Amino acid sequence: MAQKKIGEQTVKFDNPPSIIGTATIVGPKEGEGPLKDYFDLVLQDDLWGEESWEKCETKLQQEAIKMALKNAQLIESKVEYLFAGDLLNQITASSYSARQFDIPFFGLYGACSTMSESLSLGAMILDGGYAENVVCATSSHFSTAERQYRFPLEHGNQRPLTSQWTVTGAGASVLSSYGMGPYITHVTTGKVIDPGIKDANNMGPAMAPAAADVIVAHFNDTGFTPEDYDLIITGDLASIGKSIAEELIAKEGYDISNIFSDCGIEIFDPKKQDTHAGGSGCGCSAVVFNGYIFKNLKKQSLKRVLLVSTGALLSPTSVQQGESIPGIAHAVSISTIKE
C-alpha cells in the first residue's frame, strides 16, 4: 500500500525536503528582461567562450550546478544524486555536464517539464530516506533548440506570432533533508495528453491541456483551492497556452485567474524584446523558479507556490513524420513552512 500517496496522482511528504540553495545563469536577451535582477549571472554573449552553442549549454548547466552548491554551502562529495535533463538529442548537455562531477546521475527527459520532474524525483528520494542531499538541474539554449527543432539560424526564416523564444539559461536547485526551507510538500505527477496539434511553432496550446489536467488533479487530490496559493505558475505555455489552460481549469470549477502566471510570460518583455508568444525551453521555468520565485519565497513575499513546468514531447523525427505533439506537466508545491 502506498503510504504517502493521496488521491490519484499526488504524493504528500512526511519529511518535506528543503531547498537550501539555487543558482541561475542566463543569456544576454534574458538579462535584458524584467527579471534581470534575480539572476546570478548574465552572459555577455551566447557562446561564453565555447566553440559551439551546444558546448555553451553544457557549460551553462555545469556552472549553474557548481554555483548552486556554493550558494547552499555544500561540497560536491556530500551530494548523493544529480537529477538533470535538457532538450538536446539524448540529453547530451546534461550528460556532458554530469561527467564533470563525481556524483551518481539520473538523466531525465521531460522536455520543458524537466525542472519540476527533477524536483519531484529528487524530493521523493529524500523523503524516502535514500539520500540526504541531491541536486536538480536543467538547461536550454535558444540557438541549440532552434537548429535542432526548427531551422538553422542562418536560414533567417520568419517566425509566426504563435512561436516562442527558447530561453538561453540554466537553473539548479540543491535539495536537502535538512534546512530551514522553503520546503517541497507535495508533488502531483502529470499524464501525457495529446490535443492533436502538429505545429512545432505553436507549442503553448499543445501543452495547455496537460497543465490544466495536472493542476485540477492537484486540487482534487489535496483538497487545496486557488485561495491556498500565492502563485500558480506554469513553465512555458506563454500567452496563448496560458489563456487556454486557464479556461480549461475554470470549466472544472477552479478560478485561478488572480494568482496564475507563466514563466514564459514573466521572463521577457513582449513589447521591447519581440519574443512573440513568450519564452519556452527547459531553462525557462528553471531560471524563473530558481531566481525570481525562490528569492521571493526566501523573503516570504511568497509563502506557497505551485510550480507546474510544462513540456512538449516532440522530436525532430516525430515532426518530420507528421506526428502530433503530446504534452506533459508536473506540479510541485513549495511552501515556506512544513505541512
| pLDDT tens digits, 189-214 | 999 999 999 988 888 999 999 999 99
Report CA 109 to chain centroid distance, whole Å: 12
- Check whether 69 has a pLDDT greater than 80: yes
Secondary structure class of 64 (helix, strand, coil): helix
**What's the CA gap between 281 and 250, in Å, rounded?**
26
> Which residue carries 536547485 as its cell?
173
Share of the chain above pLDDT 70, in %: 96
The pTM for the full model equals 0.96
Q: Place 95 in a pLDDT band, splitting at 50, 70 and 90.
A: very high
- Check whether 82 has a pLDDT greater than 80: yes
**What's the CA gap between 51 and 129, in Å, rounded?**
42
Residue 182, preceding peptide bond in cis (omega within 30° of 0): yes
Question: What integer is the mean pLDDT of 264-292?
Answer: 93
**What's the CA gap between 314 and 322, in Å, rounded?**
11
- Check whether 17 has a pLDDT greater than 70: yes
What are the structural domains, with CATH classification, of the chain?
5-176 (3.40.47.40), 183-335 (3.40.47.40)
- Check whether 258 has a pLDDT greater than 70: yes
Question: What integer is the mean pLDDT of 17-38?
Answer: 98
For residue 47, give the DSSP letter: S
pLDDT at 153: 65
Q: Which among 185, 142, 95 is positioned nearest to 284, based on CA atoms?
A: 142
pLDDT at 242: 97
Q: Lowest mean pLDDT of 122-126, 150-154, 255-259, 281-285, name the range.
A: 150-154
Cell of 178: 535538512
pLDDT at 127: 97
For residue 300, give the DSSP letter: T
Q: Lowest mean pLDDT of 31-35, 110-114, 157-161, 238-242, name the range.
A: 157-161
Compare 75 and 274 and report the one with higher pLDDT.
Answer: 75
Q: Place 13 in a pLDDT band, splitting at 50, 70 and 90.
A: very high
**What's the CA gap between 129 and 203, in Å, rounded?**
38
| pLDDT tens digits, 153-185 | 665 566 766 777 899 999 999 999 999 999 999
Cell of 186: 507535495
pLDDT at 160: 61
Q: Place 271 in a pLDDT band, splitting at 50, 70 and 90.
A: confident
Secondary structure class of 312 (helix, strand, coil): strand
pLDDT at 200: 86
pLDDT at 338: 86
Average pLDDT of the chain is 94
Q: Place 270 in a pLDDT band, splitting at 50, 70 and 90.
A: confident
